[in-house]
Amino acid sequence: MSDKPVNAQDTLALVARTDFPADFVWGCSTSSFQIEGAAAIDGRTPSIWDQFCQQPGKIRDSSDATVACDHYHRWPEDLDLASQFGMNAYRFSIAWPRIFPDASGVPNRLGLDFYSRLVDGMLERGLTPWATLYHWDLPQYLQDAGGWENRATVDAYLHYVDVVTRHLGDRIKHWITHNEPWCTAMHGNWDGMHAPGKQDFKAALQVSHHVMLSHGLAVPVIRANVPAAKVGIALSLHPLRAASDSAADLLAMQRHDGLRNRWFLDPLFGRGYPADVLAHCADYLPQITASEVDLIATPLDFLGVNYYFPETIAAAPDNPPLHTSLKEVAGRERTGFGWEVAPDGMRELLQRIAQDYPAIPIYLTENGSSYEDQVEADGSVQDTARRDYFIRHLHALQQARQQGVDVRGYFAWSLMDNFEWAEGYLRRFGMVYIDFATQQRTVKQSGHWFRNFLHQNVVSPLDMT
Ligand code: FCB
């Protein structure tokens, strides 16, 4: 590595694969609902997201994921791309409604067979499968019975986890119980931006508790079914800044941190739910027993961290229940989605986790950016901003490692453009461009860079432009 001082420009030149250990995990992340399509094929029934997409005004471009990237049929080509990039791992999720299309509790052989083929395809290409068991596509029939608010959904989840891990555990060793419980609970049930679209804070806290409980109960099920399993959870975590150094804004930041970060981290690491959140949200709390809290703390093999952006928090006395608000700070660098670009935030977040929750190996299970990509006349996609986003975040990751944080892998979000939830197809996050009319795949500049980085140890982006 260069010993030149680091400034914004030099940062671009300061990352090389050899800066990371040889056994570092390099992958990309996807999720079933966002890419698979084949919504009614081989017995799959609707998830809450299929239902949500049918409701006017919920998806910005009024689209749905009936076809999405048609990955259900095109997965060999997609896995080829991931392996051609030089990745050694691939994170995907399993669609619960493919495995249990109805409430009978009888698994659908065709659904299990699809994932069996997919996993074999990964192994044939040298990609270690990392499976997420729940990435938001709850079967609609379970939502009709109360969804995650209903304790019975925890039991249904455990049955699903048991069947899937028995069936695939001979080949999948890395299991992620849930993706971003904060989004499941809060976007799904508090602000209503995501399926099932409720706006009820009490319901959201009930959901969060059931999701975390289902996580804790699933860990021993996975371990019992999968020899040498590595089990973790992927949380969306945010470094926070106070809008000012006034006492009110600092308190607001602490309160926001309580619900955004500590509400999930603390119980996982045996500290129970944070006392400040319990006190502040007393009117909205679900029934929480001490034994349930103990169950959530079943020891993990790793923590998955999904990092996208920091948040700036201000006091907002008129905004119950937290009395905080997010502040858009002018002049900050942002992605096409408007998310703040802050590689330093990643380093800061990782250091904080290592300090507050020691001794847990960390994997960056998602990190990426969306921009308004276009195919040029020569057929290329010049997503230089995304390429630089990757370079700068990998540099920050490497700095965190040098400072002693035990980060063992990085998964880019995402392999290819896909259905970005409430934003439909308006937000492109992929290293591969998808023409959704023709399903043609085109590797973007960022994908070429990643391939060169992983294959040839390219240090500077200038080497490939
Ligand atoms: C995360 C989700 C993932 C994707 C990215 C952009 O919150 O886990 O599915 O939508 O954001």
pLDDT given at position 304? 99
Return the residue whose CA atom lies nearest to atom 9 of ligand 1: 31
Average pLDDT over residues 430-449: 98
For ligand 1, say whether the CB of 137 is within 6 Å of any of its atoms.
no
Q: For residue 417, how far is its CA from the centre of ligand 1 (angstroms)? A: 12
Q: What is the pTM of this model?
A: 0.96
Q: For residue 180, how far is its CA from the centre of ligand 1 (angstroms)? A: 8
Over 70: is that where the pLDDT of 278 sits?
A: yes
Over 50: is that where the pLDDT of 440 sits?
A: yes
Instruction: Round to whole Å and give the CA distance between 115 and 207.
Output: 28
Q: Cβ distance 69 to 416 under 8 Å?
A: yes
Distances (CA, A) of 79 to 10, 88, 189, 212: 33, 11, 34, 31
Query: Candidates 35, 137, 306, 386: which one to mutate for ligand 1, based on the most atoms within 8 Å of Cβ?
Result: 306
pLDDT given at position 5? 35
Closest atom of ligand 1 relative to the 136 alpha carbon: 9
- Type of residue at 174: H
Percent of the chain with pLDDT over 70: 95
Average pLDDT over residues 89-108: 98
Over 90: is that where the pLDDT of 39 sits?
A: yes
Q: Cβ distance 413 to 355 under 8 Å?
A: no
Summarised one tens digit per residue, pLDDT across range 332-364 is: 999 999 999 999 999 999 999 999 998 999 999
Over 70: is that where the pLDDT of 449 sits?
A: yes
Average pLDDT over residues 196-201: 98
The answer to whether residue 366 is catalytic is yes
Q: Cβ distance 129 to 226 under 8 Å?
A: no
Q: What token pair was written down for 326?
A: 């997010």
Closest atom of ligand 1 relative to the 31 alpha carbon: 9
Exactly one of 366, 372, 376, 420 is catalytic; which is it? 366
Over 90: is that where the pLDDT of 132 sits?
A: yes
B/e letters for 151-169, b = 16+ CB within 10 Å, e = fewer, are eebbebbeebbebbbbbbb
Question: How many Å separate Cα 415 from the centre of its chain?
Answer: 13
Average pLDDT over residues 59-75: 98
In terms of C-beta density within 10 A (0-12 exposed, 13-18 middle, 19 or more buried), how is residue 320 classed? exposed
Mean pLDDT value across the chain: 95
Average pLDDT over residues 213-242: 98
Instruction: Round to whole Å and give the CA distance between 137 and 96.
Output: 7
For ligand 1, say whether the CB of 420 is within 6 Å of any of its atoms.
yes
pLDDT given at position 352? 98
Can you state the angle between helices 71-84 and 109-124, rounded to 10 degrees? 20
Exactly one of 149, 180, 292, 420 is catalytic; which is it? 180
Return the residue whose CA atom lies nearest to atom 5 of ligand 1: 413
For ligand 1, say whether the CB of 182 is within 6 Å of any of its atoms.
no
Closest atom of ligand 1 relative to the 420 alpha carbon: 10
Over 60: is that where the pLDDT of 8 sits?
A: no
Domain-wise residue ranges, the chain:
8-464
- Type of residue at 106: V
For ligand 1, say whether the CB of 306 is within 6 Å of any of its atoms.
yes
Instruction: Round to whole Å and give the CA distance between 380 and 195.
Output: 35
Summarised one tens digit per residue, pLDDT across range 228-238 is: 999 999 999 99
Name every residue whose Cβ is closer than 8 Å to that of residue 69 and which is 6 or more positions away in sequence: 34, 35, 36, 37, 78, 416, 417, 418, 419, 434, 436, 439
For ligand 1, say whether the CB of 398 is within 6 Å of any of its atoms.
no
Instruction: Round to whole Å and give the CA distance between 219 and 301.
Output: 10
The alpha carbon dihedral of 342, 346, 347, 353 has a sign of: positive
Over 60: is that where the pLDDT of 1 sits?
A: no
Percent of the chain with pLDDT over 90: 94
Q: For residue 421, how far is its CA from the centre of ligand 1 (angstroms)? A: 8
pLDDT given at position 166? 98
pLDDT given at position 10? 46
Query: Candidates 137, 183, 413, 428: which one to mutate for ligand 1, based on the most atoms within 8 Å of Cβ?
Result: 413
pLDDT given at position 358? 86
Q: Cβ distance 87 to 132 under 8 Å?
A: no
Over 60: is that where the pLDDT of 244 sits?
A: yes
Q: For residue 134, how far is its CA from the centre of ligand 1 (angstroms)? A: 13
Query: Candidates 29, 35, 180: which one to mutate for ligand 1, based on the most atoms within 8 Å of Cβ?
Result: 180
Instruction: Round to whole Å and give the CA distance between 222 and 229.
Output: 7
Closest atom of ligand 1 relative to the 421 alpha carbon: 10
pLDDT given at position 457? 64
Name every residue whose Cβ is closer than 8 Å to that of residue 95 and which is 6 or more positions away in sequence: 32, 33, 36, 44, 47, 111, 137
* CATH classification code of 8-464: 3.20.20.80
Average pLDDT over residues 391-404: 96
For ligand 1, say whether the CB of 366 is within 6 Å of any of its atoms.
yes
- Type of residue at 205: L
Return the residue whose CA atom lies nearest to atom 10 of ligand 1: 420
pLDDT given at position 4? 35
